[in-house]
Amino acid sequence: MRIICCIILFCGALNNRLAAQINESDTLLFQYNTSLGGNLQSGNLKAAAVRLKADLSLAPSPQWAFKTQNSYRYQEFFERKADNDFYSRNFFYLWQHRRVYPFAMTFVSTNFRRKIDFRYFAGIGATWQIVRRPRHTVKAALSGVHESTRFAGSVYNYPEYDGSDNVDTWRATWWLFGKHLLTGRHLRLYYETFVQPSVQRGNNFRWQIETGLEWPVWKGLSFTVSYIFTHENVVIRNITPDDGLLTFGIAFNRKVKAN
């Protein structure tokens, strides 16, 4: 792990979440965003961290598009693991340039702090493009998914779930996304939020909000700052349901126009 961190430090700290920056409805053949960051500290505090992110979309025709967003995070303090998380969400869109268009999706994730060994959900939905302007984009979506979560434990903050390490449920998802170019295109603001209630149990819900700013500096490179807050209402006992993450860094993106 220390060798990996040293390589990352040599490459430079490129640390940010850019999930919201890829828009499948743009008239582009290919879009790619990546970020990479890490640190290694010794002495009185022994700590190591690696953060990786890679998002891309492919839209070879106006009839369909594919988008995938992936991240990995590892942290340890005094050689004790604090994070070891993987997150991947994947979408298949049809007629993505219309005002309203359908999609199918699959999500896969793990979360060490929340003792989630493995989670996946899959479903279908539709996106509504509320605002479609060159400098401003606002979208909303509604979907239904089936979710299965395997926890590293079987005692929860709600006793009705006790006795099994697996929780299955059907969920609805309400989602809102916005992207805006400000101050003469020299500043980019984005935000993304969703709410996922269970349609079977009222206490099983989660929500998340993410917002960020980008300052483009040179040929795809940007200075970035973002904040993510997540609430998950059903968790293993003694696990905090709220998590927040504030990040600063540099990111790289590439876009290829269709012929």
Q: Is the pLDDT of residue 22 over 60?
A: yes
| pLDDT computed for residue 20 by the predictor | 41
User: What average pLDDT does this structure show over 192-198?
Assistant: 95
CB-facing half-sphere around the CA of 29: CA atoms within 13 A: 5
pTM of the complete model: 0.78
Give me the residue spans of the domains in the chain: 2-257
| pLDDT computed for residue 41 by the predictor | 64
46 or 5, greater pLDDT: 46
227 or 169, greater pLDDT: 169
| pLDDT computed for residue 11 by the predictor | 37
| pLDDT computed for residue 16 by the predictor | 34
95-151: pLDDT as tens digits = 998 999 999 999 999 998 889 999 999 999 999 999 988 889 999 999 999 999 999
2-257 is classed CATH 2.40.160.40: yes
Largest CA distance in the chain: 58
For the record, the structure tokens of 135 come out as 């400098």
For the record, the structure tokens of 174 come out as 């309400």
The residues with which 172 forms a beta bridge, in sequence order, are 144
Per-residue confidence at 13, pLDDT binned at 50, 70, 90?
A: very low
DSSP letter (8 states) at residue 99: S
